[in-house]
A = this chain, B = another copy of it.
C-alpha cells in the first residue's frame, strides 16, 4: 500500500517533487501546501485530485499523511521539519537540511526520539551515474584515491539569503560525502567573492583536506557563461571523469596513472606513466528523484536509515559553515570535527 505524502512548498524545486510523488507507485500524494495562491492554482490545473492548503496544520491533521516533504526556503526548514516530526510524521527536507548545524543536530535528536525518518534531499546520491561511480570506487580498481575535483558553474539564479556554497556546492559536498565514505575531511580552506555589494558570495573555491594526502576541491559559480558539471576522481591506478552533461558516456574510467618505484640502492624514486584504454560503463536510465522518492517510501515502511540521513545532512552543513568561515579569512584553513 502506497505511503501517504504531503509536499510543503512548490516554488522552484517543489513541482519536481510533486510530479515524482504523484507518479510513483510507492506513494500517494494527498496534499500540496504553499503560501502563494498562484502556485496552488498551477498545481490544481495539473493535479486536480490533490488537496491544497496554505496551512501546515491542515496537512498534519490528516491521518492519511505518513510523510511530509519540505521544499521551502532553507531558513524555514528547521521550524517546519520540527512541526512535522512532532506530529509523528516522517520528513524529507530539501537541501541544505537546515541553515545551521545546531538546528540540524536538534532535528536529528527529535527524529531519534520520535522514531521517525529524517531524510535530506541530497538528490545526486540517487542519480544512477553517481551510483555507478560509487560502485567503481568501492570495487577498489582505482587504487588509492588521490583527489576529488568537482566543477558546478552556470549563469544561475542569484540567491539573496545564502551564498553559493549553500546553493550549489552543497550538491558536490553531498556527492563527495557519499562517494568517499571511509573517512571524513579534517579541514577546509575556501575563497570566494560577492560581486554584488551587500549580497552573499556568488562564486567560491573550496579545498577539503583529508588524511593520507587526499584532497577534494569544489568550484561553484552562479555567474559563469557556460554550464559545467564535471567531477574528476584521481586514483593511483585508474581515474574517473563523470560529466553530468555528457549526453551518452557520462562516466568514463581511464586506465591511467603513475607507477612509483623505490630504487633503494640508488636512493631515488622512479616515476613512470601509464596510459591505457578507457571504459564507459552503461549507466541505467532513470531520474534521480524517482529513485529518491521510492527510497523515502521504503525507509518509512522498513524503518531503515536513509542513504541521505540526518548525519549526512549534518556533515554537509558543517562543511558549508567551515567553508564560509574560511572565505571570510581569505582561505585560512578551518578545522572540521565530523564524528
Contacts and interface: CB of A to CB of B under 8 A. Distances in A.
Interface residues of A, number: 71
A interface, over-half SS: strand
Contact of A258 (B191, B196, B213, B326): B196
Given A225-B232, A248-B227, A280 B282 contact: no
Given A196-B260, A245-B247, A277 B281 contact: yes
A38 to B, nearest CB: 14
A196 B275 contact: no
Most chain B CB within a 10 A radius of its CB, from A189, A276, A282: A189
Contacts of A240: 225
Nearest to A196: B260
Interface string A42-82: 00011011000000000000000000000000000000000
A238 to B, nearest CB: 8
Query: Assembly of this chain: how many copies?
Result: 4
B213 A269 contact: no
Contacts of A271: 158, 196, 199
A196 B269 contact: yes
B227 A247 contact: yes
A193 interface: yes
Contact of A277 (B219, B276, B282, B333): B282
A213 to B, nearest CB: 5
A324 to B, nearest CB: 14
A96 to B, nearest CB: 21
Given A196-B260, A207-B331, 9 more contacts: A22-B46, A155-B256, A190-B331, A191-B209, A192-B215, A199-B269, A223-B258, A224-B232, A227-B247
